Structure 1
């Protein structure tokens, strides 16, 4: 039997058929490869089946972080929140209270069962193994994949010893715990953009500190309070407060441990003081804390703050809380998705991408506090920036402290509890404590933050994790300050828009009352001066 010879036409047909099959094979596998690539690149897929451990989950940023993870990463397995019993409430009671917060409103409407994933863990960041009992430690070390360390004391005037224990030693204890976790993918430390505020230009690097944190920990245990107070002045150096110093030392420890665990540092504008209401998520204007600039913003709207230590020409580096939260979530993903030989530091600020000056913010604040006044408005809104500390103290005393005393006297007379002086004193102290950040200006490098934004935008689900505050991305300070004002009104003052007409009537009365108050002294002065002026004119004639 003879073999048939291949004809030229057969060869052509065979080649064409093979080409079709290869093209189909290539197309199929390209789709598969693309699918695998997208799956790997996906932020939500990174969190699929993950067990997340969070410190500081009951704080302003912590609440927003928990909410965003639950809502946008639905395949998370569990979120463990480290908590302490507080003010007679157990951790279970505190968790129940946390989940009733308005920040979780959207989740309650969409999928309330997701709250079963949130679990409270009793512990304390200042203790070995975070003070967690042995049984839970074993479980957590086997399960945890991702850690967010947000817990800290954010008081500017905190005793240095206490600030070191919470912000620096606490960070070391968390990191030491992380070294024992069997499958840790990522550790993210929430620092502050002002941890190195002794510099005018702040790069996305961890700077050397004059003192070794471990040596300082030794002094904490060995020295008496009196002796440590003496040492504190030397340790503080040029730092404006204990918060910035202890966060800088915390960063140094994170850098050291980054050799053992995959780590990243996110530096938002000062946590609580300059981290402000949400831009978009979960609701425009959502805010939960009256600390720092939010409390000051609220009191400016109520008219009780009339003088602020500030240079109005400088940039105001505030950052919306949802931008911070998305940056934290994406930094954990970025650490794994795009590995680097060195630990990344992200300066999460607004001043580089979309700056606003203190003066511009003031004008918008006054505009919207008058357009959407609260029924709790006390004086007609309006305040002045001052760069002289002496002038500020005099004006604050005349226009804030003394009126508060008068109001308290009135409250006593009508049988109500006098609280105005206490409130006024609280914000007076806050203004002075934060004056360093409103009378100075910094430049921040943001190349690493920009690389994160680029990576997020390229991710298949990046649009759900907005990290860019640029105006080309739809961000508007005008709209933001309006929603900030409405958010303070709704979430802090618990005053919905049904009271707006009543509040406007009250505001109008306060406007004319203020005019009368301003005119009366001038009238009295004129009445006193006119006789002397007439006499002087007659003598001249």
Structure 2
């Protein structure tokens, strides 16, 4: 496979502000060929010292000078944000290889073209034209032996790559255990094997989750062991049939709420045991990753997974009852905070060897970072829902279905009654009207899908965790001390000063713009529609009250 060598430095465009304001639509032509196997092996970047601190956060930026980076999971929400920030803030990065698999009939070339043409890179296209040419696709799949890499690509990566970010994973909570183990646990095992063959590796950064030990309530920044070892689980999944695994799954799960948290915890143990011999390993554990606070754009989000889908449906008025403890902390982190933590953690683990390791065995230079908000700046579920409703009413979408209002319930029985009356009854009526008009009914199906998503997140809405953040505090301190007085820091890993009201407002607007693709031009009509729905809601409440009084009156008369 061949390509031209990427430029090591891209000069910023001085007219970037004007470029962005005019919503420049020009796209960079993707280079879909991976580089040839190089006969020159790039040496790892020398660890920078405080003496290199010439401008804002230059210590971190200098660490990435001439770096050759490998990213897994680059087509995901977090992966795209990571690529964008790396290319924009570390402009002297040499090349970035991304492992992409064919999917749903689309080749890696097609998927790569879709990736680099994504609007998330519009700011980068304006500020650093040509920067996207540094990204090169490599055909592979973390779910296949040896990552599905060809011998040529595997050899090339082992000769050239200096930094690895492993973020590929299945995040589905209802994934069968076999699939989740193959992608999340065995996939990590395969990445470690690749890293062990890299001649110039400086560090491996693994994206885990703060809930990798969800069966506990007090989470230290360390790798926890389990009764069943990762290798045993991986062997079982590869050798036992689906029926047998289905029987064993419940026992293997223990107190974990889903296969995602279990397999991510097992992956951490793989890193601890197999990571021996690697130069440095960082495990970054974000909690619930949500829309961007500032970068690349305020409110940017490109999926409806997890809490984003819940907030969207609260704003549309389709979720009116939810099982939740409103006083529990909802530990969410904006995606740009997570990305900055990943970038800075690579520098931190590589340039300052941990004095205390993340587990009893000190043979692996591994450090865990709990990238969470609850210990720094807690926000509660009730507050989050109320703010969502407030700003969904202030800036409604044209897709609003009912006047936004949600009730938090701790009783499953009361919730089921409310769901039957407030969710399924209106959905049935609307579908009946659609059938009468000759249209295809859709509301019952949509309601079931929404309620399933809410059900999957119930465990996190009725429980609370305490995350220790000593390593995150140390990282924050190091980043702040590396910034010249008066300079604007490029990396924000300190969530303590985040204003949640401002953030939720941007989140709601981001869902409206990036997920629902709702133009600002529709805001007037959306507000008019919402006003009508308000009076429909009031009329419905009055009629319900009237019928209740009539029923009570007749019952009393008897």
Structure 2 length-normalised TM: 0.86
Check 1:525–1:315 CA distance in 2 against 1; reply closer, same or farther (3 A cut): closer
2:147 maps to 130
2:206 maps to 189
Q: Deviations over 1:221-264 (max 9, x none)?
A: 32121112112121111111111111110000111133211101
Which of these residues, 428, 437, 445, is aligned with residue 422 of structure 1?
Answer: 445
CA deviation after TM superposition for structure 1 residue 35, in Å = 4.4
Distance 2:112 2:49 in 1: 43
Which of these residues, 304, 319, 322, is aligned with residue 290 of structure 1?
Answer: 304
1:268 maps to 286
Distance 1:529 1:149 in 2: 63
Which of these residues, 537, 552, 558, is aligned with residue 514 of structure 1?
Answer: 537
Kept in 1, the 8 Å contact 2:52–2:59? The answer is no
2:521 maps to 498
Kept in 2, the 8 Å contact 1:41–1:337? The answer is no
Name the stretch that deviates more: 493-502 or 85-94. 493-502
In the alignment, structure 1 residue 70 sits paired with structure 2 residue 87: yes
CA deviation after TM superposition for structure 1 residue 60, in Å = 0.8
Distance 1:339 1:124 in 2: 32
1:199 maps to 216
Which of these residues, 340, 363, 387, is aligned with residue 326 of structure 1?
Answer: 340
2:436 maps to 413
In the alignment, structure 1 residue 154 sits paired with structure 2 residue 168: no
- Match of 1:322, SS state, is helix
CA deviation after TM superposition for structure 1 residue 128, in Å = 3.1
Figure out how many residues of one structure are paired with residues of the other and give that number: 497
Over the aligned positions, Cα root-mean-square deviation in angstroms equals 1.9
CA deviation after TM superposition for structure 1 residue 86, in Å = 0.6
Kept in 2, the 8 Å contact 1:315–1:357? The answer is yes
1:3 maps to none
Kept in 1, the 8 Å contact 2:205–2:342? The answer is yes
CA deviation after TM superposition for structure 1 residue 413, in Å = 3.4
Distance 1:183 1:401 in 2: 58
Distance 1:396 1:527 in 2: 24
- Match of 1:112, SS state, is coil
Greater fraction helix: 1
* Structure 1: 5+ residue stretches without partners: 1-31, 537-541
Distance 1:52 1:417 in 2: 48
Distance 1:394 1:464 in 2: 50
Kept in 1, the 8 Å contact 2:73–2:168? The answer is yes
Check 1:33–1:469 CA distance in 2 against 1; reply closer, same or farther (3 A cut): closer
Distance 2:489 2:193 in 1: 35
Which of these residues, 298, 311, 315, is aligned with residue 301 of structure 1?
Answer: 315
* Structure 2: 5+ residue stretches without partners: 1-47, 358-365
2:464 maps to 441
Check 1:460–1:393 CA distance in 2 against 1; reply closer, same or farther (3 A cut): same
Q: Deviations over 1:284-339 (max 9, x none)?
A: 11111101000010000000001111101111101100000110111111111211
2:114 maps to 97
Check 1:184–1:391 CA distance in 2 against 1; reply closer, same or farther (3 A cut): same
Structure 1 length-normalised TM: 0.89
- Over alpha carbons, which structure has the higher Rg? 1
In the alignment, structure 1 residue 349 sits paired with structure 2 residue 372: yes
